[in-house]
């Protein structure tokens, strides 16, 4: 296939580009590099089947020729990024999604929307299955990202009903792995960077809030399976193995061998107390389930951070700055 990947220079997008090229597809990667990095796809630039287009997809997506599939991953995804770029986040969820849908409609292409578990908000139902409508504060500090993705889902469903576009929606739960930025504000990266720098690990509240962590290779397998299917979704893609933030902190300390202590701070507003996906739809419709144990994935991620030690050290000030998510240690004023 020829696949357009928006946000293709980001953490998840670049891994998806790798996977598609590895199986013989050609890829058009569209990214404005506001949160993605060209270094994530440098190794692909010499491949004649890979094309990089720098563009703001909420304005235009210039693609020469037809595509067989569109994977719409473009969006700031970490709290520091979407709080730093709130209007841009809303625009990419609305105008950016419609621009990508128009290409899929015109070319008769399969369309994949990378949505998020954040559409469930601070869930009143646990674990979360796709039939749950969520508990989102539409004007709260997290609503920038949550509501942008909820709108993107509604728009995708409307294009399917109105124009017959072959759409599929996946809801991605917490994902981690190589190519994450040390200062991106998510709990895995923050804990690993703090541990490697010998700084205190910042835990918000008592650390009893839970998340379910999926390694990037598993997540990308799910995205590819959804691209290849005709399922409409939404389908949860994530690891149903649930851990508390306090347990994650202890695991990171054990894997890194760090002697850093743990510090507790107040919880922020609207922080989800629990998060765990029901993945029966993914098993039934996509033949997918996670394979990489959390400990193995964390070791691979720690190895990546150790190999990029300069970035980890440089991120120290940003990580220590502030707080936007109880499963996150970061500031809204971090650099791009």
Tokens of 175: 């994902």
In the chain the domains, ranked by start, together with CATH numbers, are 2-174+213-237 (3.40.50.720), 180-212+241-275+293-319 (3.90.25.10)
Provide the pLDDT for residue 331: 29
Collapsed DSSP state (helix, strand, coil) of residue 119: helix
DSSP string for 285-312? II-----S-HHHHHHHHHHHHHHTHHHH
Question: What pLDDT tens digit does each residue of the chain (336 aa) get?
Answer: 999 999 999 999 999 999 999 999 999 999 999 999 999 999 999 999 999 999 999 999 999 999 999 999 999 998 889 999 999 999 999 999 999 999 999 999 999 999 999 999 988 999 999 999 999 999 988 899 999 999 999 999 999 999 999 999 999 999 999 999 998 888 999 999 999 999 999 998 888 888 889 999 999 999 999 999 999 999 999 999 989 999 999 999 999 999 999 998 887 765 677 788 999 999 999 999 999 999 999 999 999 999 999 999 988 877 765 433 444 433 222 222
Q: pTM value?
A: 0.91
Active site residues: 145
Tokens of 49: 């089947």
Using alpha carbons, list the distances in angstroms from residue 26 to 17, 32, 96, 257, 264. Answer: 9, 20, 22, 42, 47
What's the N-to-C CA distance of the chain in angstroms?
32
Provide the pLDDT for residue 275: 83
**Dist CA 35 CA 81 (whole Å):** 7
């Amino acid at each position: 296939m020829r696949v357009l990947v928006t946000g293709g220079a980001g953490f998840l997008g670049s891994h998806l580009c790798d996977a598609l090229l590895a199986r013989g597809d050609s890829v058009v990667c569209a990214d404005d590099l506001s949160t993605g990095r060209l270094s994530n796809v440098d190794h692909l630039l010499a491949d004649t089947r890979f094309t990089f287009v720098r563009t703001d997809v909420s304005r235009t997506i210039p693609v020469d020729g037809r595509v067989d599939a569109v994977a719409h991953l473009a969006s700031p995804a970490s709290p520091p990024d979407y709080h730093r770029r709130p209007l841009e986040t809303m625009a990419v969820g609305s105008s950016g999604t419609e621009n990508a849908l128009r290409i899929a409609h015109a070319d008769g292409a399969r369309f994949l929307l990378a949505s998020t578990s954040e559409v469930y908000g601070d869930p009143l139902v646990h674990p979360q299955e796709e039939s749950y409508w969520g508990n989102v504060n539409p004007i709260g500090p997290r609503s920038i990202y949550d509501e942008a993705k909820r709108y993107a889902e509604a728009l995708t469903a409307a294009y399917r009903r109105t124009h017959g576009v072959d759409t599929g929606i996946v809801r991605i739960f917490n994902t981690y792995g190589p190519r994450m930025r040390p200062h991106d504000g998510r709990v895995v990266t923050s804990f690993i960077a703090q541990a490697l720098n010998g700084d205190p690990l910042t835990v918000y509240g008592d650390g009893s809030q839970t998340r379910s962590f999926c390694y990037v290779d598993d997540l990308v397998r799910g995205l590819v399976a959804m691209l290849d299917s005709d399922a409409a979704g939404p389908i949860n893609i994530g690891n149903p193995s649930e851990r508390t933030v306090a347990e994650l902190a202890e695991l990171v300390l054990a894997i890194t061998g760090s002697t850093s202590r743990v510090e507790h701070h107040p919880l922020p507003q609207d922080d989800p107390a629990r998060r765990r996906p029901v993945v029966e739809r993914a098993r039934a419709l996509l033949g997918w389930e996670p394979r990489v144990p959390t400990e193995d994935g964390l070791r691979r991620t720690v190895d990546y951070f150790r190999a990029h030690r300069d970035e980890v050290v440089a991120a120290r000030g940003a990580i220590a700055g502030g707080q936007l998510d109880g499963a996150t240690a970061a500031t809204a004023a971090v650099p791009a």
